[in-house]
Amino acid sequence: MIIRRSKFVLVSTQFICTTQELLLLSNMFGLLLIVFVVLIILWHKIRTHHWIKRQVPGPQPWPIVGNIAEHLFGRKTIGQVIKEIYRKYEGYPFVGIFRATHPCLLVRDPEFVHKIMVTDQKAFYNNEFNIDKKIDPLFGQNLFVLRDQDWKDTRQMLTAGFTSLKMKFMYENLTENARRLVEFIQNHPTAEDDGIETRELTKRFTLENVASAAFGIDGKCFESFTELSEFMKLANSVLEPEALSLSRILIQLNAIFPVASYFISFRIIPKEIEQKLVQIVSDVVKYRKENHVQSNDYLQFISQLAKEKGFDDTEITAHSVTFFFDGYESSSNVFTYLLLNLALHPQYQEKIREEIRKVEEENNGEITYDTLNEMKWLDACFYETLRISPFLDILVKKCTQSYKYTPENPDFKKLSVKLYPGDTVIIPYSLLMNDEKYFENPDKFMPERMMNRDNINKAIFFPFGSGARVCIGQRFGLMQIKLGAAQVIKNFQISPDPKTKLPIRLIPFSFLNEVKGGVFLKYKRIERKN
């Protein structure tokens, strides 16, 4: 009995000690939580003074989410949130905002935009995106994310691959792909009645072009109406806008806590996708070498560079992937919006058809590379689409040198701002182009305004970027979109299907301005007269 009581006392004592320890730990945790909350509040107070002490006006930010809560909670795109701020500060040359915890200067004065992009570009040389080439060797060598000397060297090296002569060499393959696009629509079982989801349709076309030009393969994008080819699946695994991948989560985390990028490295292109793309390029390069095959495509250009620069297959693939991103996803997005705008405004379809008839009559029934670029209505509809339906809303640049700006335009308040290396500036790419201050009836599709683009202020309308970092692939994008659109308009009367919800809504977390629910258009075949 005595032994048992001793055991009981011992156990009871241990239980009392454990409870005391738990209470102590609980109190310590509570204290730490209070300290953490206090530190967050103090940090927020200090952080919000970032623009106040520089005497820059702007909306009051919320803790953690800053001024972009509706974007972070998935209610709006980042562009839609920035647009609301842009409109509230009419007359201000710039606005200090917080993209979550990160202070950014939203530029409203077009002259300031022009200085950042062109005149004083050395002080704003780099885009904000920061990808480690060692972690992501394919996307890390994309011109959009490269910085400083790496960007200069790569840009200079690749420019020769995008000349007008190179585009003419690729034009024949693109013409064949445009023919296959028309045939695909003609045979599609729902084209006239229920319509075709046009974002997927245009992706088939632009990916087929990229497959042949940058990878030297047949993408097999037009072989099935319901199934995607293996190459399309591969492309979509990287770029699917609604996919919740680890990289997308980390990108959002980086937007909230930019300092995290110094501690967390992440990939845009997953390792397994990288390996598949490298294998595709390696096989094609090996085949061409062993069989003495020469081709007038982009892969041939990169392969030749590889001999001169000593590139391995991964580096060759990386430069092909640059073509892949620009020529596939962005071009498809613009092509989709162009067809949607033409479907909603059929009078311009007829203007383009008349233009096509004249071109074909004068060129033995063909649309050549040169005549494609001379079609004024097609060109005007293309550029008006870029204005009213931009695929991006903002550009984000990093300041690399100390810089001061004071507006000279009397339309803006006489405010000055001093920027330092590491500061972030946001260029309202699409907001300027849709501001009634610069364009009459900005929400109306009016291609007439683009018939003479020389009269449009280049500090307001710069759909391919501006200055030294203007889009290197714009010639290829222009060529394939215009060619595809000409062939579609020539052969089909396009109209919107009720499944397309108007006005359109956008997917909040997409890199590009993607239409939520898809773009369904009907394609009624036009019987050609002999």
Q: Given pLDDT bands bounded at 50, 70 and 90, which one contains residue 67?
A: very high
**Helices first, then strands: H and E counts in the chain:** 18, 10
The predicted-structure confidence for 108-159, as pLDDT tens digits, reads as follows 999 999 999 999 999 998 998 778 888 889 988 999 889 999 999 999 999 9
With 60 as the cut, is the pLDDT of residue 59 above it?
yes
The predicted-structure confidence for 7-18, as pLDDT tens digits, reads as follows 434 344 444 456
CB atoms within 10 A of CB 114: 19
Task: DSSP for 84-152, please give it.
Answer: HHHHHTTT-SEEEEEETTEEEEEE--HHHHHIIIIITGGGG-EES----TTT-TTGGG-TTT--HHHHH
Tokens of 321: 């992937």
Q: Among residues of the chain, what percentage have pLDDT more than 90? A: 72
Q: Among residues of the chain, what percentage have pLDDT more than 70? A: 85
With 60 as the cut, is the pLDDT of residue 520 above it?
yes
CATH superfamily ID and name for 134-390+463-525: Cytochrome P450 (1.10.630.10)
With 90 as the cut, is the pLDDT of residue 326 above it?
no
The Cβ-side half-sphere exposure at 517, using a 13 Å CA radius, reads: 12
Span 82-124+393-461 CATH architecture? 2-Layer Sandwich (3.30)
Q: How far apart are CA 217 and CA 206, in angstroms?
A: 14
pTM confidence score: 0.89
Contact yes or no for 482/379 (Cβ under 8 A): yes
Residue 104 annotated as part of some ligand binding site: no
The predicted-structure confidence for 481-502, as pLDDT tens digits, reads as follows 999 999 999 999 999 999 999 9
Domain range list for the chain: 82-124+393-461, 134-390+463-525
